[in-house]
């Protein structure tokens, strides 16, 4: 086989250098780059790095439509002949990585040293013309030569320099024929315009000490490029006009330790006061400092009309129509990630839901926001500071730990907005009403208003009293029958809610049952083995091997018995009548269900209450109430990394009657507005990033079945719930 490498040392025939093939340039250019939009973006970034105040992008076709050219031109500092030869023509150079800051003070966008070769996807050839200090340097590349020549160092590139009166700057011209021109259509050119509109963040970069990186203007011009001669673009690229017309917004800086301050504001009503929200992740972000700005838009009919009234206009200055407004939202939506003012594609594309917002909205449609409702900006630090590494193909960030943390922090901020949006929409009657089962069944099967109305009407019409009473008795008999059905429904609902609660502690079953199951798996074959030998030889010494195994099986069987005894109240499929039970012991048994999880999380539980007090109700409901309360406490105490974690339960009685049960933990607590609105007890509402929103709803329903109400109170010491008898009105 012919030797393909290049000798590094003529004196040593076994030492060679790696020789890249000529098509290596195309591999890191057109083959590596994600698409033609990304190629344009890379060239725009190069103009930015050159300290140019602007960049002009021109798409132009020849008169006979046989050829076209794409020009990217800037007024930056240009390049010397030496820079062109020793840096621009050197693939993967680390020049910008070393410099980091441009002469004009801008943070360098280019780091990989390959972005300029993306031009190979835009045409058949490339003409580079760059001017600095009165000298113009030009090179011309035909990309086909990189396919024809064998090795990269076999390709010869002519570099010419001459004196000139031209101002400093760089001009790249890519040309192509019909076959490449045919790949562009009006939709793709519109997409390019939208890409450029979203390229720079309109949010001020708070990581900068000055304005050196601002005011970079992009101009796009397109003439005679498509068969449709009326399709012309000639405009300065500006952010979407919808940017400041949001319904809800949350923004703020989060430091690398995971703490920060957010500001929540909304424009659904006039003169609404902003809310300042302390943010505490409970741990370092592991992705550096972040600045997050999330803007949400309702998409119902009235919201779209309000959006237009706030000033949504088209490029000609006219108010848009509803369909135009919806299309604009469709184009602009998405949460982009920006580094040094420029977006990292495809994060922020309208169809790239990297935070899985749509999946979460399917589960909780009334509370969650979808990707088509949000325009967001997440500003990140450099790769060295954040650990967020951009892929060489310019198709996003490496999915490492830092990226997972970025998703976690951004999701937590969005959750703050979602809870407030949900609360406002609920109060304003804008969201679908949530179903509180006990309350709804009371309304459904209550005949009191009906009987009063009929009695009044019969009396007015002169119907005798005895006839009125017989009619009302018929209604009362029907009411009694309906209420028996309602009781059956309540019991069925209670069983299902018990099953849902049991599902939340499935980890308890798996964790505590794994050890005895492993023992059975390992020791039962040993028991069988020794038993067979004993039956054959009748050797009493064999019993000394059998008896410890048998004892171990008995002990592990007891673990199963005790485990299922604790879980039994949650697993029952039937509910009888209310019965008296010892309340303190029942709550203690409930806490014991999660004792292994509490021990693992180092959470202490203190329970105070009279041992002999009996409460008449359904003890299964108390399991549901306290399993869900404890489950929430375990989550938040662990999530916020609280030192000396504890839960306290206090039972107060008077004259053999329950006064209240106080449940507290020393976790992060509950935000006051969520307490005042009681939204935390609504089904599907949750402040956990991936919560289902059924825990407290189930606990509230279980309390109602026992003529109790579960209330949350404000506390500076953590979460505070009170379970108390429902007070009779009047």
Percent of the chain with pLDDT over 70: 73
| Angle of CA points 359, 363, 365, to nearest 5° | 95
Give mean pLDDT, residues 667-687.
78
Each residue's pLDDT tens digit, 545-598 = 667 666 666 665 655 555 555 555 555 545 568 899 999 998 998 888 788 789
Q: How many angstroms separate the CA atoms of 287 and 290, rounded?
A: 8
Q: How many angstroms separate the CA atoms of 460 and 468, rounded?
A: 11
| Angle of CA points 400, 289, 110, to nearest 5° | 65
Kindly report the average pLDDT of the chain as a whole number: 79
- 132 SS3 class: strand
Task: List Cα–Cα distances, 436 to 441, 543, 582, in angstroms.
Answer: 9, 62, 28
Can 24-236 and 248-427 be said to share one CATH topology? no
Domain 24-236, second-level architecture: 2-Layer Sandwich (3.30)
Higher-scoring residue by pLDDT: 320, 129: 129
Among 457, 350, 467, 343, CA closest to 394: 343
Radius of gyration from C-alpha coordinates of the chain: 36
Structure tokens at 2: 């012919």
Give mean pLDDT, residues 438-442.
51
Give mean pLDDT, residues 341-354.
89
Tell me which long-range contacts 163-167 makes (C-beta under 8 A, separation of at least 24).
Answer: 163/134, 163/135, 163/136, 164/131, 164/134, 164/135, 164/136, 165/134, 166/131, 166/136, 167/75, 167/131
Strand partners, 58: 71, 221
Task: List Cα–Cα distances, 514 to 30, 240, 518, 525, 526, in angstroms.
Answer: 54, 56, 6, 18, 19
Q: How many angstroms separate the CA atoms of 458 and 564, rounded?
A: 59
Position 377 scores a pLDDT of 94
Task: List Cα–Cα distances, 65 to 62, 68, 130, 221, 610, in angstroms.
Answer: 5, 7, 28, 17, 92
Contacts of 595 (CB under 8 A, 6+ apart): none
Position 128 scores a pLDDT of 92
Each residue's pLDDT tens digit, 250-299 = 999 999 999 999 999 988 877 778 999 999 998 999 999 999 999 999 98
Question: Contact, 47 vs 76, CB < 8 A?
Answer: yes
Answer yes or no: is pLDDT of 415 > 80: yes
Q: How many angstroms separate the CA atoms of 590 and 570, rounded?
A: 10
Q: How many angstroms separate the CA atoms of 614 and 208, rounded?
A: 66
Question: Contact, 17 vs 6, CB < 8 A?
Answer: yes
Q: How many angstroms separate the CA atoms of 238 and 477, rounded?
A: 72
Q: How many angstroms separate the CA atoms of 306 and 123, rounded?
A: 46
Question: Contact, 475 vs 451, CB < 8 A?
Answer: yes
How many Å separate Cα 184 from the centre of its chain? 34
Q: Which CATH number fits the domain 248-427, given the four candidates 3.30.230, 3.40.190, 3.50.70, 3.40.390?
A: 3.30.230
What confidence tier does 437 reach under pLDDT thresholds 50, 70, 90?
very low
Instruction: Indicate the range of 181-195, 537-551, 714-728 predicted with least confidence.
Output: 537-551
- 682 SS3 class: coil
CATH 3.30.565.10 fits 580-730, yes or no: yes
- All structural domains of the chain with their residue ranges: 24-236, 248-427, 580-730
Question: Contact, 22 vs 146, CB < 8 A?
Answer: yes
Position 622 scores a pLDDT of 87
Answer yes or no: is pLDDT of 400 > 50: yes
Task: List Cα–Cα distances, 632 to 94, 180, 323, 521, 598, in angstroms.
Answer: 50, 59, 44, 34, 12
Structure tokens at 88: 């621009």
Q: How many angstroms separate the CA atoms of 217 and 534, rounded?
A: 91
Higher-scoring residue by pLDDT: 286, 513: 286
Answer yes or no: is pLDDT of 33 > 70: no
Among 368, 297, 362, 353, CA closest to 329: 297
DSSP string, 236-287: E----TTTT--SEEEEEEE-TTSEEEEEEEE-SSTTPPPEEEEEE-SS--SS
Answer yes or no: is pLDDT of 655 > 80: yes
Answer yes or no: is pLDDT of 693 > 90: no
Position 520 scores a pLDDT of 59
Answer yes or no: is pLDDT of 67 > 80: yes
Structure tokens at 251: 């923004």
pTM of the model: 0.64
Higher-scoring residue by pLDDT: 145, 380: 380
Position 679 scores a pLDDT of 77
Q: How many angstroms separate the CA atoms of 361 and 145, rounded?
A: 52
| Angle of CA points 680, 725, 611, to nearest 5° | 105
Contacts of 280 (CB under 8 A, 6+ apart): 258, 259, 640, 668
Among 299, 285, 257, CA closest to 411: 285
Q: How many angstroms separate the CA atoms of 341 and 352, rounded?
A: 20
Burial of 78 (0-12, 13-18, 19+ CB in 10 A): buried
Highest mean pLDDT among 92-96, 174-178, 328-332, 662-666: 662-666
Structure tokens at 470: 């017989």
Answer yes or no: is pLDDT of 99 > 80: no
Element holding 543 (H helix, E strand): helix 543-571
To 10 degrees, the CA torsion angle through 309, 310, 312, 313? 70
- 551 SS3 class: helix
Structure tokens at 126: 């490339």
């Amino acid at each position: 086989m012919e030797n393909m490498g290049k000798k590094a040392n003529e004196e040593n025939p076994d030492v060679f250098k790696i020789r890249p093939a000529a098509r290596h340039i195309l591999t890191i250019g057109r083959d590596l780059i994600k698409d033609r939009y990304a190629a344009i973006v890379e060239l725009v970034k190069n103009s930015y790095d050159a300290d140019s105040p602007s960049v002009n992008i021109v798409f132009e076709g020849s008169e006979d439509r046989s050829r076209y050219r794409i020009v990217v031109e800037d007024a930056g500092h240009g390049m010397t002949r030496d820079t062109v030869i020793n840096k621009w023509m050197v693939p993967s150079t680390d020049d910008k990585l070393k410099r980091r800051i441009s002469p004009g003070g801008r943070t360098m966008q280019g780091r990989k040293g390959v972005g300029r070769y993306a031009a190979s996807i835009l045409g058949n050839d490339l003409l580079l013309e760059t001017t600095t200090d009165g000298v113009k340097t030009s090179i011309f590349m035909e990309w086909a030569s990189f396919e024809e020549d064998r090795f990269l160092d076999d390709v010869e590139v002519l570099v010419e320099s001459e004196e000139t009166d031209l101002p400093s700057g760089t001009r790249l011209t890519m040309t192509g024929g019909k076959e490449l021109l045919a790949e562009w259509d009006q939709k793709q050119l519109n997409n390019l315009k939208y890409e450029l509109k979203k390229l720079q963040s309109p949010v001020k970069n708070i990581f900068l000490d000055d304005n050196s990186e601002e005011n970079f203007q992009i101009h796009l011009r397109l003439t005679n490029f498509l068969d449709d001669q009326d399709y012309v673009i000639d405009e300065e690229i500006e952010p979407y006009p919808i940017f400041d017309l949001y319904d809800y917004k949350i923004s703020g800086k989060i430091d690398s330790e995971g703490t920060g301050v957010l500001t929540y504001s909304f424009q659904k009503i006039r003169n609404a006061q902003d809310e300042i929200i302390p943010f505490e992740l409970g741990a370092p972000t592991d992705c550096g400092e972040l600045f997050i700005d999330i803007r949400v838009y309702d998409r119902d009919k009235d919201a779209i009309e309000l959006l237009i009234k706030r000033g949504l206009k088209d490029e000609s200055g006219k108010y848009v129509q509803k369909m135009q407004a919806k299309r604009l939202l469709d184009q602009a939506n998405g949460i982009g990630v920006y580094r040094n003012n420029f977006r990292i594609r495809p994060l922020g594309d309208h169809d790239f839901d990297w935070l899985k917002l749509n999946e979460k909205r399917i589960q909780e449609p009334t509370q969650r926001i979808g990707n088509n409702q949000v325009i967001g900006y997440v500003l990140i630090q450099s790769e060295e500071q954040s650990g967020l590494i951009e892929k060489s193909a310019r198709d996003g960030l490496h999915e490492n730990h830092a990226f997972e943390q970025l998703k976690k922090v951004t999701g937590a901020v969005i959750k703050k907005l979602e809870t407030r949006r949900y609360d406002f929409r609920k109060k304003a009657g804008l969201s679908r009403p949530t179903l509180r089962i006990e309350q709804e069944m009371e309304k459904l099967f209550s005949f009191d208003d009906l009987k009063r109305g009929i009695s009044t009407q019969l009396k007015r019409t002169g119907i005798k009293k005895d006839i009125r009473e017989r009619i009302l008795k018929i209604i009362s008999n029907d009411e009694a029958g309906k209420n028996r059905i309602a009781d059956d429904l309540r019991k069925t609902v209670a069983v299902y809610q018990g099953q849902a609660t049991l599902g939340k502690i499935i980890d308890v079953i798996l964790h505590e049952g794994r050890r005895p199951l492993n023992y059975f798996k390992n020791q039962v074959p040993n028991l069988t083995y020794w038993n067979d030998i004993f039956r054959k030889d009748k050797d009493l010494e064999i019993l000394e091997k059998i008896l410890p195994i048998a004892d171990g099986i008995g002990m592990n069987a007891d673990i199963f018995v005790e485990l299922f005894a604790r879980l039994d109240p949650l697993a029952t499929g039937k509910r009888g009548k209310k019965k008296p039970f010892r309340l303190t012991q029942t709550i203690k048994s409930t806490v014991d269900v999660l004792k292994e999880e509490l021990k693992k999380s180092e959470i202490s539980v203190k329970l105070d209450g009279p041992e002999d007090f009996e409460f008449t109700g359904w003890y299964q409901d108390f399991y549901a109430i306290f399993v869900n309360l404890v489950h929430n406490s375990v989550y938040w105490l662990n999530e916020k990394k609280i030192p000396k974690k504890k839960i306290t339960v206090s039972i107060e009685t008077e004259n053999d009657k329950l006064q209240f049960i106080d449940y507290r933990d020393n976790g992060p607590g509950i935000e006051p507005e969520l307490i005042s609105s009681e939204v935390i007890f609504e089904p599907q509402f949750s402040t956990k990033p991936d919560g289902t929103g059924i825990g407290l709803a189930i606990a509230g329903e279980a309390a109602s079945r026992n003529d109790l109400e579960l209330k949350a109170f404000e506390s500076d010491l953590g979460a505070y719930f009170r379970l108390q008898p429902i007070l009779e009105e009047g």
